[in-house]
Amino acid sequence: MTASLPDLDTLTFKELVAQMVVVRTCGYLFDSQIPYPEWEANTATMQHLVELGIGGVIFLGGSAAELALRSQQMQSWAKIPLLIAADIEEGVGQRFPGGTWFAPPMAISQIARTNPQAEEYAAAMGAITAAEALAIGINWILAPVVDVNNNPDNPVINVRAFGETPAAVSPLANAFIKGAKAYPVLTAAKHFPGHGDTTTDSHVDLPVITHSPSRLAKIELAPFTSAIASGVDAVMSAHLLIECWDAKYPATLSAPILTGQLRDRLGFTGLIVTDALMMDAISKRYGANESPVLAVEAGADILLMPSDPEGAIDAVCEAVKNGRILPQRIRESVERIWQAKRQVEGVKIDPHKIALKLSQPESLQVVERILQQSQIVSGKLPLSPTPNGRNLIVVDNLLGSGKFLTEQSPAITVPKSLGYTTVLCDRHTPFAPKKETDNLPTLMQLFIRGNPFRGSSDLTQIGMNWFKKLSSSHNLQALVIYGSPYILEQLTPAMDSEIPCIFSYGQMPQAQTVALHVLFNV
């Protein structure tokens, strides 16, 4: 039973502030399944927070079917309908198994270089993501990423971007927004004012951007201006220090940036939402309960994932009482929240019908076309399978690869059916080729994205060691890379051009099928 939106004047002041807070929770129904108990509240605490009147929740973890139950559970506790958000930049299936899982946005940008149909793909991606999100109770898609990934070493944006120039990003991001907005669902352009040109991951430390205002206007801001014109519902702030605008506070906590630039200069009237406040770049530097106050002062409407939700609410209330924040500041934010909630009000979900709404054949066909058309292929094809060949699979972390790699994944089953022996390798398995298997012709399948290959991650080392070993011993039969085109660029110059090489933006089983179909012609 979903409640309806009450008159703002019936809320206490604390209730108004609580509406600005969006709390992280997992999609699993049972406390025993919570994967990150230090960051994810248990059911009793979540019920307490929802009954207290938080404005929404953001889901991480759980399957699409579980989300359908879990989102209803949360709404059933709420007096005021909740915003239910998720980082589904690559479709519902990216986060919640069962939904359609798209290749990352940069795949569509790759297609756009030669094919104007790319915009239709971006629109379809937005529409399918929106329809599936609604079917399981998500009413706020935290996408599109409108960052311009003009730095190939960017560890955190990378293939999540719709391109490497504002001219590439804007039309695709706009198409995604328009596709999604055909449904009663909210969107969010992120990460303001642009997270594309940094080599620091803000999950780990606070990146500093030293560009001039004119450069920012030309590159970083253009896609935001364009997304706002396309009707994006929210803009998410970045945890970045933009020196030319505010040398003291990162964008998330900066009044000159959120209010001065985004609200006043760009004239954005929708929701300003912070990126996760619990990230170390914010919570450790500025304090778990001080940073929400700074964010509200700066102009944020939604405080996403504060480390201590009740502490954040109390701190903001206290700041109003002390005169540090004007009551009107809160009222304006909640009015914008009401405007957003009105757009998604009244959507009912029926968990018994979702089987007919997710991962429909037409949706999977769109994904297949995107995968096929964005795939980069070179060398002599098809490859004739070698009996007793080796299928060497390199992933970052075998303990966390279950979403794309199981015993039933095509990357395993297809070579196996052709006589290949599976060998697995990740950061936990030492690089230790054995003399007696030195001369096995090897298909190397590399799953890598986000991590700059030159960096210091263990995958870098072991992947590179294997690549060199196989190349120098002439046993590299074929190379398939799933994920980062920057790794492809790095490896291909060193490769014999006859060796079959396939690059796919996707990592999901469907991407594996498409790639291995071309490789083996099976």
Catalytic positions, written as ranges? 203, 275
The residue among 98 and 270 lying less far from its own copies, judged by its C-beta, is 98
CB of 1 to its own copies, least distance (A): 10
The residue among 201 and 275 lying less far from its own copies, judged by its C-beta, is 201
The residue among 340 and 414 lying less far from its own copies, judged by its C-beta, is 414
Interaction of residue 278 with its own copies, rule CB under 8 A: no
Please pick, from the candidates 2, 165, 422, 492, the single residue that binds its own copies as defined by CB under 8 A. 422
CB of 396 to its own copies, least distance (A): 11
The residue among 30 and 328 lying less far from its own copies, judged by its C-beta, is 30
**CB under 8 Å to 51, separation ≥6 — which residues?**
77, 78, 79
**Which parts of 374-498 are beta strand (E)?**
376-378, 390-394, 421-425, 442-448, 476-483
**Which parts of 27-109 are beta strand (E)?**
56-60, 83-86
44-63 residues near its own copies, rule: CB under 8 A: 62-63
Interaction of residue 515 with its own copies, rule CB under 8 A: no
282-301 residues near its own copies, rule: CB under 8 A: none
Rounded CA gap, 42 and 122, in Å? Answer: 37
Q: What's phi and psi for 237, nearest 5 deg?
A: -80, 155
Interaction of residue 350 with its own copies, rule CB under 8 A: no
Total chain residues near its own copies (CB under 8 A):
54
Q: CB under 8 A: which stretch of 243-251, 256-264, 310-318, 355-363 binds its own copies?
A: 355-363
Q: Which alpha helices (H) appear in 145-270, and where do they start and end?
A: 166-180, 213-215, 221-229, 255
CB of 280 to its own copies, least distance (A): 19
Rounded CA gap, 246 and 294, in Å? Answer: 14
Please pick, from the candidates 116, 323, 387, 430, the single residue that binds its own copies as defined by CB under 8 A. 430
Interaction of residue 64 with its own copies, rule CB under 8 A: yes
The two structure tokens encoding residue 10: 């019936």
Please pick, from the candidates 184, 260, 311, 351, the single residue that binds its own copies as defined by CB under 8 A. 351
The residue among 69 and 470 lying less far from its own copies, judged by its C-beta, is 69
The residue among 315 and 443 lying less far from its own copies, judged by its C-beta, is 443
Please pick, from the candidates 302, 426, 488, 511, the single residue that binds its own copies as defined by CB under 8 A. 426
Residue type, 474: H
Distances (CA, A) of 201 to 69, 189, 195, 197: 33, 19, 10, 11
Strand partners, 22: 56, 304
Distances (CA, A) of 125 to 174, 181, 194, 236, 288: 12, 12, 22, 20, 36
Interaction of residue 419 with its own copies, rule CB under 8 A: no
Rounded CA gap, 39 and 24, in Å? Answer: 8
Q: What's phi and psi for 449, nearest 5 deg?
A: -155, 150
**CB under 8 Å to 143, separation ≥6 — which residues?**
87, 88, 89, 129, 176, 180, 187, 188, 190
Least Cα distance to 97 among 138, 61, 63, 65 occurs for 63
* N-terminal to C-terminal alpha carbon distance within the chain: 50
CB atoms within 10 A of CB 402: 10
133-152 residues near its own copies, rule: CB under 8 A: none
Burial class (CB in 10 A: 0-12, 13-18, 19+), 103: buried
Residue type, 123: A
Interaction of residue 378 with its own copies, rule CB under 8 A: no
Q: CB under 8 A: which stretch of 11-19, 347-355, 368-376, 487-495 binds its own copies?
A: 347-355
Please pick, from the candidates 7, 9, 10, 32, the single residue that binds its own copies as defined by CB under 8 A. 32
The residue among 7 and 407 lying less far from its own copies, judged by its C-beta, is 407
CB of 508 to its own copies, least distance (A): 10
Q: What's phi and psi for 34, nearest 5 deg?
A: -60, 120
Interaction of residue 269 with its own copies, rule CB under 8 A: no
Distances (CA, A) of 295 to 130, 154, 305, 383: 28, 25, 12, 56
Interaction of residue 184 with its own copies, rule CB under 8 A: no
Q: CB under 8 A: which stretch of 169-177, 189-197, 223-231, 428-436 binds its own copies?
A: 428-436
Please pick, from the candidates 12, 33, 212, 365, the single residue that binds its own copies as defined by CB under 8 A. 33
Interaction of residue 72 with its own copies, rule CB under 8 A: yes
Please pick, from the candidates 267, 402, 419, 455, the single residue that binds its own copies as defined by CB under 8 A. 402
Residues of this chain that interact with its own copies (CB under 8 A) are: 28-33, 35-36, 43, 62-66, 68-70, 72-73, 76, 93, 97-99, 351-352, 354-355, 358-359, 364, 397-400, 402, 405-409, 412, 422-426, 428-430, 432-434, 437
